[in-house]
Amino acid sequence: MPKEEIKKKQKTKLIALHSSNKTYEFSKPLEKKIKYMGKTVDVKLREDPDGFSYIVWKNKKYMLDIIEKNQNKYTIMINGVWHSFTVETPISLKRKKFLESQGEASSKVEITAPMPGKIIEILVENGSEVKEGEAVIILEAMKMQNEITSHVNGTVKNVNIRKSDTVMKDDVLVEIERS
């Protein structure tokens, strides 16, 4: 294939990369049509008078909403379930996959706060051995005490918080070196 054509082809595609690593390709220019099991199916994007956005697809309505958007990162809520994507071009996707394969060598795992709250108790310290499923932090949110557990086996490398600290969602609480 001549170079020009390859370039053209790459330019005419956008890919949604789902957090599960599944990809969804759409050709540009984008039309309100989706290729689905070998057929092209029309998609209708609508907004109803109440202010809900919805897609009509195969005669069914799907309520959907962008709940987070940051450059090419999207979180889309559809019928009450959210899905995270990054929108990539064929080139950026290739680069991303390459970088990820480089990154796998690193074995540090971060335990983050799943919700905003207050640190009630820290159950580990630097050097503690933890097992998958073991509680490392007690976090209080909405009047409930929640156990934050490690999702890997390993050694605690860093404790970033102190007792009674208030943390935001996604704050890194503890770093663990995978064993």
CA distance 131 to 110: 14
For 103: left if phi > 0, alpha if psi spans -120 to 50, otherwise beta; the answer is alpha
172 near other proteins, rule: CB under 8 A: no
Residue 57's DSSP bridge partners are: 60
Q: How far is CA 177 from CA 8, 55, 58, 137, 149, in A?
A: 44, 44, 48, 17, 15
CA distance 165 to 140: 11
Interface of this chain with other proteins, residues 38 to 57, rule: CB under 8 A: 43, 45, 50-52, 55, 57
Listed ranges 4-12, 29-37, 94-102, 153-161: which one lies at the site for other proteins (CB under 8 A): 29-37
159 near other proteins, rule: CB under 8 A: no
Binding mask 56-95 for other proteins (x = CB under 8 A): -xx---xxxxxx-x--x-x-xxxxxxxx-x-x--------
Listed ranges 3-11, 31-39, 95-103, 152-160: which one lies at the site for other proteins (CB under 8 A): 31-39
Nearer to other proteins, 146 or 177 (CB): 146
